[in-house]
A and B are shown apart, each in its own frame.
Chain A
């Protein structure tokens, strides 16, 4: 892993509009802060190496190194990454009904992990209006307050950094693929600090094809509805091509094509749809608005899912072949497109003296891009 400092981060990521605002560099120091979806560097910092750069999922991500660390093998470029098994899932009878989206699997898993002490803090994303707001939750019942989906990029990892500062030792985090990539880098102790402890006990990754830039989304929505009256935003699973914006009982539908205009450029470089470096990944299930797709990737993920099922927090079933095929197709497409774009722009395996977005075996790049 090549590590530089904040100035390089500013130059290679923030100034090039590649920052998605994941929050990985927030609450580490006084210099980076997030405000309404955007990461800003308040003052110059002169350090040649910093956690801000090391944690950033948009620069110098060594996929082989990460894959070796978490899965014991080089990055192979499969559409869904490494996994143990894939299921359909929904919240079980032990979970209180809430306004969660799809099957409520994420809320069920985090409530369970907190209730059973697998984690002592859950890093989740709440919302104020339509602005996603990171939260550190320690009470299992409170998990449900963060249950709904957010479609704007959120600096959730700032809450993870905060939880670490507050010395929680078993932290669970629910994160998007870019954030999961960052968490994977954090857990490697990239600055080789002597007192480092990996306090992340559970990573639940979300499926994500893109996020919306809050700074453009807010005025976009304001033109259509009174932003203060919005109660919920939903994008039902394919094949529906709409975003639903609820104001209590009322609802408007916005074609996804219009929403895609608000997606920041940086999402088009993202190679990961299913949070490949998580313990467990969760997403929608095509054609089933009431259920989720569940990917179990690690042993500790497997253990938590098994127990959650046994204790009635979660109900899982085998995933239908057709759904799996479509998931692989969609994830593979995203990966292939992003690799092709990044490669064309010289952002993969850049020469030694240049900063590179990704580093991995050249043959794998070839296999993915064809």
Chain B
């Protein structure tokens, strides 16, 4: 039995922030949870899926974030508690429904958990979900540690039911993926009955129809809910102050920045001079609470990641209460004290405090800093982002790259979101030329494919993964087919949402909870649209390349090449090697004319290692997955494969 279902009240467990959120939802009696995989959010749904059977809840990986929010909202409308989870930019995908859901209101407690990725550690954006809370006018909570992650999640459901409104609870990478001790509360017992009441008076929030119209009425109600939230937030235990009664400097912060700020104050030994106001309820801000603490100090530093959300909101209150609290000197993002981009850490906060209070502080002796920098530059091996050993994407992009070069018409590939996004880099032979949102590769290709009229004579290609195909590529393909756009989509089908940890998708026979479910065939879907569809194994390099050249030369409309090869790290594949590989060092041409290290200089599977001493390629048998592809790369026949027994 998972620790998440530990019934013992007061039990303490070391939990990842995402697990703490899942536990909070379980303590709140969540019945339905839906999400789309995306770092750093994925473990919330995975944790819940893992206990779904025992907890008698329904958990799904929806095809995209909008669907996830709709699935969760349906449960709320049926008076169940529901959770939907996504990474920061997933909220953009869901945002149209989000706007209308905020307008219609909810019934059973419903919580939206976006996990933001400041510094874009696992993203190609630093999108902010907090602004959505302000834009669509729903309350926003931000836990500041692991215990709060659990406790605030549980409370968010109660708040949602009190306000009949969706609550956003925002996490960030350092909260979601770090771990800390969490003290458990009780798990609810008892069953919940789903029922959708929709026959009452149309404006009745519990029995009427669920809609954001009439807009002036519903929008007015929404503001009443926000007003009520403000009142509740004034007394929230999740807003705390620590520090002297009259601090020289007041830091206002939230989320993981609470930890950075606390650490900075501690390192600098300034507990007697600097106050820390940590806010858990960050939209709408409770004005009385803010007024009270703003009055304490003349200098206010706002510490938060990415955009100045808190800063702007605090400044509005300060302006409105200026006659009461006096003129303040604000430090934060707008004056450059805190950087506007990237992830923060205690050093940023230390720098800000020492600058404001004019304190001399050197985090490291200069000599030490110079020494480490020198060592890092000369001594540390270069570690660039690279596909794993035996990754089918390496083989796929080898063929895509070669097909484009042979074609010679300066064709290009619109990329998409997945491990294969790395094909922007040398590991994928710098094949991708655009990467935006999920499904945007196909959407852009649909547009490029109509530019022949204006002289665009370059072949247009797009790639997407199997999960991305279901997420948002399908509408782009329908658009392309209907408008007779000319392009070739390569579906890199590795049988799972590999980048985020093999979550299932509609192309597979299993769902999040391990149930057997119908699988949808990508090829059949594409054929039903009228696309020309080919299916190949990307490990068959020459066949794949030739097929792609052939498709690119077919100027008639939408073409789809499905490259099927299961991810090298997938649980099914990890077990065994298809081939035993060997390298004959006598035959290896090394750096000579005729090869010049094509395997270790260009193909660069980590399973192949250049032996500088011997000037030959060696095999790293430990990490080689036995895919066999390098035997076809080697021009001298030095790399050989034989069927593994």
A interface residue numbers (CB < 8 A to B): 28-31, 33, 35-36, 38, 40-43, 45-47, 49-51, 191, 215
Contact = CB atoms under 8 A, between A and B. Distances in A.
B411 to A, nearest CB: 12
Contacts of B593: 28-29, 47, 49-51, 191
Which 5 A-B pairs rank lowest in CB-CB distance, beginning with the nearest?
A35-B406, A30-B598, A40-B405, A43-B602, A30-B635
Nearest to A33: B406
A30 B603 CA distance: 11
Given A30-B595, A191-B593, A42 B401 contact: yes
B240 interface: no
Interface in B543-597: 549, 591, 593-596
A45 to B, nearest CB: 5
B537 interface: no
B596 A29 contact: yes
Nearest to A54: B593
Given A31-B598, A42-B401, A46-B596, 20 more contacts: A29-B598, A29-B635, A30-B602, A33-B402, A33-B405, A33-B406, A35-B406, A36-B406, A40-B408, A41-B405, A42-B402, A43-B429, A45-B596, A47-B591, A47-B596, A49-B593, A51-B593, A51-B594, A191-B593, A215-B408
B407 interface: yes
Contacts of B401: 42
A40 B596 CA distance: 17
Nearest to A35: B406
B633 interface: yes
Contacts of A40: 405-406, 408
Contacts of A45: 596
B633 A30 contact: yes
Nearest to B429: A43
7 contacts: A29-B594, A29-B595, A30-B595, A30-B602, A35-B407, A42-B402, A47-B591
B602 A35 contact: no
A165 B401 CA distance: 26
Contacts of B602: 30, 43
Nearest to B594: A29
B55 to A, nearest CB: 53
Nearest to B409: A215
B408 A28 contact: no
A50 B406 CA distance: 21
Contacts of B596: 29, 31, 45-47
Nearest to A40: B405
B435 to A, nearest CB: 22
Interface residues of B, number: 18
A1 to B, nearest CB: 15
Contacts of A47: 591, 593, 596
A365 to B, nearest CB: 32
Interface string B585-629: 000000101111010011000000000000000000000000000
Task: Decide if the interface of chain A is mainly helix, strand, loop or mixed.
Answer: loop
B605 to A, nearest CB: 15
Nearest to B403: A35
Given A40-B405, A42-B402, A49-B593, A35 B598 contact: no
A51 B595 CA distance: 11
A43 B591 CA distance: 15
A302 to B, nearest CB: 35
A35 B602 CA distance: 21
B407 A28 contact: no
Nearest to B549: A35
A30 B602 CA distance: 10
Contacts of B549: 35
A12 B640 CA distance: 37
Contacts of B594: 28-29, 51
Contacts of A29: 593-596, 598, 635
A30 B633 CA distance: 8
Contacts of A31: 596, 598
B6 to A, nearest CB: 55
A214 to B, nearest CB: 12
A215 B553 CA distance: 12
A163 to B, nearest CB: 16
Contacts of A50: 593
Nearest to A51: B593
Q: Which of A38, A43, A47, A191 has the most CB of B within 10 A?
A: A43
Contacts of B407: 35
Contacts of A191: 593
Contacts of A33: 402, 405-406
Given A30-B633, A45-B596, A38 B402 contact: no
B412 to A, nearest CB: 15
Contacts of B591: 47
B429 A35 contact: no
Given A49-B593, A191-B593, A43 B598 contact: yes
A41 B407 CA distance: 11
Contacts of A30: 595, 598, 602, 633, 635
Nearest to A41: B405
B593 to A, nearest CB: 5
Interface string B157-192: 000000000000000000000000000000000000
A282 B173 CA distance: 75
A30 B408 CA distance: 17
A192 to B, nearest CB: 12
A191 to B, nearest CB: 7
B218 to A, nearest CB: 60
B608 to A, nearest CB: 14
Nearest to B592: A47
Given A28-B593, A29-B595, A47-B593, A42 B405 contact: yes
Contacts of A49: 593
A18 to B, nearest CB: 15
Q: Which of B594, B598, B635 has the most CB of A within 10 A?
A: B594
A3 to B, nearest CB: 10
A232 B596 CA distance: 42
Nearest to A50: B593
A300 B239 CA distance: 98
Contacts of A28: 593-594
Interface string B387-418: 00000000000000110011110000000000
Nearest to B602: A43
A38 B635 contact: no
